[in-house]
Chain A
Amino acid sequence: MAYTIQDFKKGQPRWCPGCGDHAFLASLQKAMAEIGVAPYDTAVISGIGCSSRLPHYMATYGMNTIHGRAAAIATGAKVANSKLTVWQVSGDGDGLAIGGNHFIHANRRNIDLNMILLNNRIYGLTKGQYSPTSPRGFVSKSSPYGTVEDPFRPAELCFGARGHFFARAVATDAAATVDILKAAYNHKGAAVCEILQNCVIFNNGTHESVYDKAGRAKNAIYVKHGEPLIFGENREFGLVQEGFGLKVVKIGENGITEKDILVHDAHCEDNTLQLKLALMGDNDGFPVALGVIRDVDAPTYNDAVEAQIEEVKAAKKYHNFAELLETNDIWEVK
């Protein structure tokens, strides 16, 4: 059966006008319709925060749970009922601060979850405190003199936890967002999608360099598996490997041709170059990488759990409670 966006829509979102979550919600609903899994076989599970309100606007099954626990709750739902397609939605505070432990372990175990990380680098619901993705020196209500701590870089955390899928999109970039959401669905295992999202009230402009189309043309690179890493308003720049790092080169200068440009390999098991791509940006002379940065096949936890159950079922002679009792040392009193 084919689904439309309407089949996934519910209610009237109550985010601030201009919040990046509006745009993301529309892309998620569009992606779900295109993916075609029934709303009743889909669960959207969030924690607490502005973005965690999202399940309320979905006509699927869902839970808007407690702060930080979305990944753990989603883990239980998926492992207990693997037929469900589970989307876990968190913000940067929910997913990487209070819920950091669950984030890394969901990745390490490789639970088949589509893990959405709406990153606006701020706590919005509590009205403007710095988050674990706010840059060093960030001034906020709880850091009036600037923070004295370094932020997490989500990709680094994902890769450090042995994550097999990482993609990034800008919330307002609908087509690219839908693309990575579909790729996340198609990837079996934990699939982290970092959504760069603007908070108009408390952290306006945090992703300014790539938030509109013109900015992305200049400051972003869309990476695609099997294609050369070329970017720029006129596709005039490319990435090459130099020593242990990457380097931006201009095509046509110094004898550089398209053939010299590094070809993206999202399926490469070794994540070294994928990590380098993911960490680009933030005024370092490199473009911000968007698209599917890493997408490597690996056995999922939930499949392995089920396979092990089947294996043990075949090997053991007891399959119900009465038979289980008989495996013990039993004596009879007459």
Chain B
Amino acid sequence: MCTNKFSKPKIKNMAENLEIKELDSVAVRFSGDSGDGMQLAGNIFSTVSATVGNSISTFPDYPADIRAPQGSLTGVSGFQVNIGAGKVYTPGDFCDVLVAMNAAALKTQYKYAKPNATIIIDTDSFQEKDLEKAAFKTPDYLGEMGIDPDRVIACNITQMVKDCLADSGMDNKSMLKCRNMFALGLVCWLFSRDLDIAFNFLKEKFAKKPGVAEANIKVIQAGYDFGHNTHSSAANVYRIETKVKEPGRYMDITGNKATAYGFIAAAEKAGLKLYLGSYPITPATDVLHELSKHKSLGVTTVQCEDEIAGCASAVGASFAGALAVTSTSGPGICLKSEAMNLAVIMELPLVVLDVQRGGPATGLPTKSEQTDLLQCLFGRNGESPLPVIAATSPTDCFDAAYNACKIALEHMTPVVLLTDAYVANGSGAFKLPNLAEFPAINPPYVPEELKGTWTPYMRAENGTRYWAVPGREGFQHILGGLEKDDKTGAISTNPENHDLMTRKRQAKINNIVVPDLEVIGNKDAELLIVGFGGTYGHLRAAMEEMNASGKKVAMAHFKYINPLPKNASEVLKKYKKVVVAEQNMGQLAAFLRMKVDGFVPYQFNQVKGQPFVVNELVEAFTEIYNK
């Protein structure tokens, strides 16, 4: 662990004629081959920036190919970091600085750069064969792409890294692994970042390999010095000052890690063993990775034979008295549905994490969508109500996971927690939570005094079935997938009883109290933007941009989708115009129309596998606004 106190960024000896731009936020996109370490460079840059109090939002854009050929167009991996003086809500639509470590990266990633963006390229990776692999037709790659050479910082990074490490005794391959650090050093120079923080990060990361840490540090410094010495070749230099600071201790966290932490925190609060039954699936696997590390907290993870067993074993673990979780993505939900339904009828606590990706079928495994909502709400046989919660940002995954566990345990029900690839892989500055301040989790254990009279479907006042964990004498009982008699708990096909049990299961979910829908933005808004889950940042940025331009816009974002917040209907009917924006063909809109009489919203739907683009949202919403 390293704790760095906030310190003002040191401005190194800049030449006087240098134009220094003060910006509210700046997005940097590191791109290169999958093996070029772009994510590490991005992570260090975001940590360094966060340490000085900037807000951060990151987004990795992985290629679908596991190991595409080096230098090929399909092998390019990107990592975008948005840093802000105030709050940033998204990783940024387009970047201000694009680092392209090879020709293929420039070719595929330039579309994410702003028209006036600074482009950093490693000219050593723009040789004839590199250009050929990247399908450039001429040696004039900049001209071919219409890039103004004045905006390009062209440097022979590979050669300089080799020169820099010539005396290190490292082999060629190891030296080349440090190229990302040269680019990072250069970017740090552009943004006047304090290199000491980066150095500390590397010393921690490579604590067991001091040689590697030393080499990386040397190369960062070289990149920084190169930027400094050749500043005239850059069009702009940026400074991001910190405007708003919320005091506290922070860490950088991805959505998947925050989700795993939420589960751990909830298990500790509830005093239960945390059990994860899972099967690897992109983009949810990091939750399995994270939880499997923490055996010292007693976390039990079982990598099962399939998605079905992942969920089924979690149902077994829940019956046996654990906080049971299963993690997956959309295709896995298809397979888990049957066991989820079993947990519905047995009324056992279970959290099902769905890190949504592009579908249908295998779809776009590494890309993001919100297309599983209706599947999770309704994709099971019979009347099968269960709560659905959606996390709104990487850091919100923690709260969402905690609350999903709390609802599952206190209401004896499976709960679906929806995140998505964007939220799961993105990161943000996470203020360390104090578990003591979190609400208690109290499962409805069957009271001892009911021994002798208790039957499995006796309910507490709020309609929740009591939990009798095996090992307790006198509470032996049988649960199962067959309908049971309300009074005796025996198998029953009685028509009146089935109708009654169906209604009781529904009422139990309806009775769950969730926080009211919060409305932010203009109080006299003429347009209300509505969304759910991972689009929060983009919708909020669009709203703020519209309000800044004098329009009256508000926003209501759903975290709790089933049951809906009590004030949902009132909020949705209050505004002249409502637009429901989602990364699907209108699933939330359909659900809201089903639940709110007479609600007919405008819709904005996009299913591209990519995050929303704020400019596109503003344009679409403005059109609706002006109608």
Contacts and interface: CB of A to CB of B under 8 A. Distances in A.
A332 B342 contact: no
Interface string A296-334: 000000000100110111011011111011111111111
Interface in B347-361: none
Interface stretch (A54-62, A171-179, A206-214, A244-252): A54-62
Given A65-B342, A332-B3, A333-B247, A76 B275 contact: yes
Nearest to A46: B480
A102 interface: yes
A263 interface: no
A328 B1 contact: yes
B250 A331 contact: yes
Contacts of B477: 61-62
A330 B249 contact: yes
Interface residues of A, number: 59
B81 interface: no
A66 interface: yes
B471 A329 contact: no
Nearest to A14: B491
B542 interface: no
A328 B251 contact: yes
Given A81-B320, A325-B251, A333-B250, A63 B479 contact: yes
A72 B249 contact: no
Contacts of A65: 312, 315, 342, 480-481
Nearest to A41: B471
A79 B480 contact: no
Contacts of A66: 312, 338-339, 341-342, 481
A326 B5 contact: no
Q: Chain B, interface size: which category?
A: 35 or more
A89 to B, nearest CB: 12
B24 interface: no
A319 B250 CA distance: 20
Interface in B580-624: none
Contacts of A326: 1
B470 A334 contact: no
A74 B320 CA distance: 9
B316 A73 contact: yes
B432 interface: yes
Contact of B245 (A11, A305, A320, A333): A333
B100 interface: no
B534 interface: no
Contacts, number: 226
Which one of A64, A325, A327, A331 has the highest number of Cβ atoms from chain B below 10 Å of its Cβ? A331
Contact of B268 (A45, A311, A321, A328): A321
Interface in A33-68: 38-41, 43, 45, 48, 55-56, 58-66
Given A59-B476, A79-B275, A329 B1 contact: yes
Contact of B3 (A61, A63, A331): A331
A131 interface: no
B321 A81 contact: yes
A62 B321 contact: no
B314 A76 contact: yes
Nearest to B480: A64
B237 interface: no
Which one of B251, B324, B435 has the highest number of Cβ atoms from chain A below 10 Å of its Cβ? B251
Given A75-B316, A80-B275, A320-B297, A333 B246 contact: yes
Interface string B450-490: 00000000000000000001111111111111100000001
Contacts of B296: 309, 312-313, 315-316, 318-319
B302 A75 contact: yes
Contact of A330 (B1, B298, B473): B1
Contacts of B305: 72, 101-102, 105
A320 B480 contact: no
Given A329-B2, A330-B2, A40 B476 contact: yes
A75 B313 contact: yes
B312 A76 contact: yes
A76 B317 contact: yes
Contacts of A56: 478, 480, 490-491
Interface stretch (B45-53, B86-94, B517-525): B45-53
B265 interface: yes
A83 interface: yes
B247 A305 contact: no
Interface string A8-46: 000100000000000000000000000000111101010
A321 B435 contact: yes
B261 interface: yes
Contacts of B342: 65-66, 69
A94 B471 CA distance: 27
A80 B250 contact: no
B339 A80 contact: no
Contacts of B50: 331
Contacts of B294: 324
B319 A77 contact: yes
B277 interface: yes
A39 B432 CA distance: 45
A12 B69 CA distance: 67
A181 B472 CA distance: 24
A333 to B, nearest CB: 5
A146 to B, nearest CB: 32
A59 B251 CA distance: 51
Which one of A11, A73, A83, A320 has the highest number of Cβ atoms from chain B below 10 Å of its Cβ? A73
Contacts of B1: 326-330
13 contacts: A48-B481, A63-B316, A63-B478, A63-B480, A64-B478, A66-B338, A76-B314, A79-B302, A80-B324, A101-B306, A101-B308, A324-B264, A332-B249
Given A62-B476, A77-B317, A80-B316, 16 more contacts: A39-B476, A40-B473, A61-B470, A64-B479, A72-B305, A73-B339, A75-B302, A75-B304, A81-B322, A312-B296, A327-B1, A328-B253, A330-B2, A330-B3, A331-B250, A332-B248
Q: Which 9 A-B residue pairings sit nearest by Cβ, starting from the closest?
A: A76-B316, A76-B313, A64-B480, A80-B317, A81-B320, A316-B296, A77-B316, A72-B312, A73-B316
Interface of B: 1-6, 47, 50-51, 53, 197, 201, 204, 245-253, 261, 264-265, 268, 273, 275, 277, 294-298, 300, 302, 304-306, 308-309, 312-322, 324, 338-339, 341-342, 346, 432-435, 469-482, 490-491
